[in-house]
Amino acid sequence: MLLAAACGSAPAGTPGTMQAPSATLPPAATAGPTPTASPSTTLRLWLPSPFDPAAENPAGELLRQRLEAFQAEHPEIQLEVRIKELAGKAGLLSTLAAAHEAAPGALPDLLLLPAEDLNAAALKGLLSPIDSETIGRAAQESYDYALAAVKLDNALYGLPLGAQTTIFAYRKDAFQEAPVAWSTLLSGPATFAIPGGSPRAEFVLALYIAQGGTLMDSQGKPALQVEPLQNVLTFLLAAQDAGLLIPSSLQFTSAEETWKALRNGMAHAASAPLPAFLATPGASSLGAVPLPTADGEGIVLARTWAWSLAERPEQDRQAAIDLMAWLAEPSFASRWGRQVGLLPAAPAQLERWPQDATSALASRLLSVAQPSPRPEVWDLFGGPLQAALRATLAGDATPRAAAQEAAEKIQVPQP
């Protein structure tokens, strides 16, 4: 019996390299019923609201059918699905911590977490390291960006499902070639928009990293390099001076807003969430590339989602591991991940995508994907980077001076 209990809702909101697969998760159906599970076993699965199997869309239907098939294959298990908000007091991480402290009997067995929550939960002792040999082999097959997101102190805390990312979408009729190089954008006359008002300065930080900028010094302390940031600011200033970076870019606070600006005809290209781009009907007039870089290779920062095991007093985790394997089986994970707009986490998933423009885009994005920085990095770097961008575009500082000031703020964080 599949129990779906809603607990709040929320709106769906070194470069990675392609590794040759060495082993894959076998379909869990071949494993047969879990021998250690008694007829009274309850298996709890916690999911964030964007992944709700009750959602009336293709992704929801796919997951619902997959869970029902697991239930049919394991009649001795009562599967209970609970939907959690992503953030706040009722958010998944907060609820997990509260249950761990006050109601361990209500803890989930398996849950789906974004990389930043996985890391925080592991550090707080809320997750159990995964010692399953089969799951471990499958995780090792993941792309570099995904594997980096689920390992902590050489211990594995998750099996990657896929990743959200931001791309650069553009009108095909406005560009003679795909605008993945700064030189293409600066050649005009097509305009573009960036979320320059974002407090996390995602666009600037991604381009900074692509320029070879690092986030820590040789002693492991947060540090920003002046020259890579100066190069990014110089590019954006040149674009503004040429009338190519639209003035309202400093007002946009998210890729969702710049994507809307592109769709509304305010710009010819813009940052855009990959799920939104893939879900847009009639988007044949639009193309997509990684975020533009000086060398034309592009970059994307990937926010990994992964299956994790909650730390529970019970010793038997086999049923949860069986469900994890069932949901991570490449044929299913590839179809479901594509429906929810995630980049594949492993070559075995990408190989199962239909060979079309979408799979070609995913392959290109994966070739330049890097793990999204952890929340503390965004919190520390975002403000100084946004201030540097504003000062540069307003003419209050040269790119060099603005970059230098940002570096000083990060070395000595402002109160």
Q: Are 156 and 150 a contacting pair, CB within 8 Å?
A: yes
Name the pTM for this structure: 0.86
- Structural domains in the chain (count): 2
Rounded to a whole number, what is the distance in angstroms from the first to the last CA of the chain?
53
Q: Is the pLDDT of residue 37 over 70?
A: no
Q: Are residues 314 and 379 in the same domain?
A: no
Q: What value does the mean pLDDT of the chain take?
A: 88
For residues 316 and 100, the model is more confident at 100
Rounded to 5°, the CA angle 388-391-394 comes to 145
3-state secondary structure (DSSP) of residue 371: strand
Specify if 37 maps to a domain: yes
Within 10 angstroms of residue 14's Cβ, the number of other Cβ atoms is 8
pLDDT tens, position by position, 269-327: 999 999 999 988 766 799 999 999 999 999 999 999 999 999 876 657 889 999 999 99
CATH number reported for the structural domain that contains residue 386 in this entry: 3.40.190.10
- Per-residue pLDDT for 147 more than 80? yes
Residues 114 and 138 both lie in one domain: yes
99 in the same domain as 135 = yes
C-alpha 250/C-alpha 211 separation (Å) is 22
Its domain, for residue 231, covers 176-267+374-411
My answer on whether 134 and 207 are in the same domain is no
